[in-house]
Amino acid sequence: MMGMTGKIMNIENAYLNKVLEGQTIYRTDEVMLRHSKIIYLGYPAKINNNVFAIFIHIPTVEINNAVSNISKQFTYLLLFAIGLSFIGAYLISSKFTKPIIEINNAARKISDGDYSVRLSINTDDEIEELSKTINSMAENLSKTEKLRRDFIANVTHEFRTPLGIIRGYAEALYDDIVPIEERKEYIQDIIEEVERLNKLVNENLELSKIESGNINLKSERINLYKLLIDIVDKIKILKGNRSIIINGTDTFINGDSYYIEMAILNILSNSIKHTKDDGIIEINISNQDNPQITIKDNGEGIEEEHLPYIFERFYRVKEKGVGGLGLSIAKEIIKLHRGSIQVKSKVGEGTTFTIQFK
């Protein structure tokens, strides 16, 4: 017999006998020790055919102490964990909310028309992605805004001269100050200006449509070689005595033949316009790495200082009157076909346009 307190306990005979008979006894509530219940366990053990009864007494006060110690520690741990999770939640939420507040402010500025805002968020996650998207949106909006302002300024400027001419001529005719034999000439000039304005309006509309991406490009298989033969055939009347040579073989791209034809016609009509009547225009179609068209003339050429601008809307080198849209349209069409267009030129020697498809 033994007890945890080191004292020998009194054991009722009835229990002792039960254990010696082979039963296991377990009690908690009846025995009191030092104002505390004790857990009381009797267990039979057989050693060398002798039966022993082993009794164990554990005062619950010690278990209670241990339990209350552990539960105290658990409470502290719990409080600590709750505190920690609050701090964590605050840190995480401020990590997320701060950039979202920044993005919100930027979006508000953009909606108020301030396109200069740029976000610099480095969270290395979707929020950073979003901030980058917003940056490029603001950049595109400011470009569009500039385009819109330039466009209005340009159109206003381009329209002023022909409208002035039309008005002046019409007034002169109305006031009867034009000699009879010149009247027809005046009327002819008015008609010409109106036609130019008409062309300008139509081309502008076309260019705006292309630039805004508001056209449904077909995706047809186009044989560039065949297309160029057709185009050159169509402009027979325009070309005068100039010889137009086509070199190449069947070369295919996917795209909208109507628009590709428009782009090539714009470049080719420039080449004709700026080459003397006995000039030579050479067209090469090749497909070494990618489909490529070069249109080379031996005309007047373009001075280097103008080269960077000739693809811009309304830009003309020395031509008078309205125009300057042909190359802008060509460039936008080629861009929509994921291609690029380049120019090389030397005054007095000629100009070469290269269209490169991907």
Ligand X SMILES: Nc1ncnc2c1ncn2[C@@H]1O[C@H](COP(=O)(O)OP(=O)(O)OP(=O)(O)O)[C@@H](O)[C@H]1O
Q: Which of 143, 147, 142, 95 is closest to 122 using CA atoms?
A: 95
Interface with Mg ion (CB under 5 A), residue total: 2
Minimum CB separation of residue 283 from Mg ion in Å reads 17
Query: How many CB atoms sit inside 10 A of residue 162's CB?
Result: 19
Minimum CB separation of residue 338 from ligand X in Å reads 21
Q: Which of 316, 341, 208, 209 is closest to 263 using CA atoms?
A: 341
Residue 251 in the binding site for Mg ion (CB under 5 A): no
CA dist., res. 242 & res. 268, Å (int): 12
Residue 299 in the binding site for Mg ion (CB under 5 A): no
Sorted by sequence, the CB contacts under 8 Å of residue 356 that are 6+ apart come out as 290, 291, 292, 339, 340, 341, 342
Identify what 297 binds: ligand X, Mg ion, none; CB under 5 to 8 Å per kind: ligand X
Residue 204 in the binding site for Mg ion (CB under 5 A): no
Joined together, the tokens standing for residue 324 give 């300057």
Q: Where are the alpha helices (DSSP H) in 9-125?
A: 13-20, 60-111
Identify what 325 binds: Mg ion, ligand X, none; CB under 5 to 8 Å per kind: ligand X
Identify what 331 binds: ligand X, Mg ion, none; CB under 5 to 8 Å per kind: none
CA dist., res. 197 & res. 313, Å (int): 15
Minimum CB separation of residue 311 from Mg ion in Å reads 11
Whether residue 241 contacts residue 276, with contact meaning beta carbons closer than 8 Å, is answered with no
- Tokens 């377990």 -> residue: 26
Identify what 321 binds: Mg ion, ligand X, none; CB under 5 to 8 Å per kind: none
E strand or H helix at 204: helix 180-211
Residue 270 in the binding site for Mg ion (CB under 5 A): yes
Identify what 315 binds: ligand X, Mg ion, none; CB under 5 to 8 Å per kind: ligand X
Minimum CB separation of residue 223 from ligand X in Å reads 25
For Mg ion, give the closer residue by CB, 228 or 262. Answer: 262
- Tokens 């007890």 -> residue: 3
Identify what 271 binds: ligand X, Mg ion, none; CB under 5 to 8 Å per kind: ligand X
Options 162, 291, 326, 339; binder of Mg ion; rule CB under 5 A: 326
Minimum CB separation of residue 306 from ligand X in Å reads 7
Note the residues at the interface with ligand X (CB under 6 A).
266, 270-271, 274, 297, 299-300, 302, 310, 315-317, 319, 323-328, 351
Residues that bind Mg ion (CB under 5 A): 270, 326
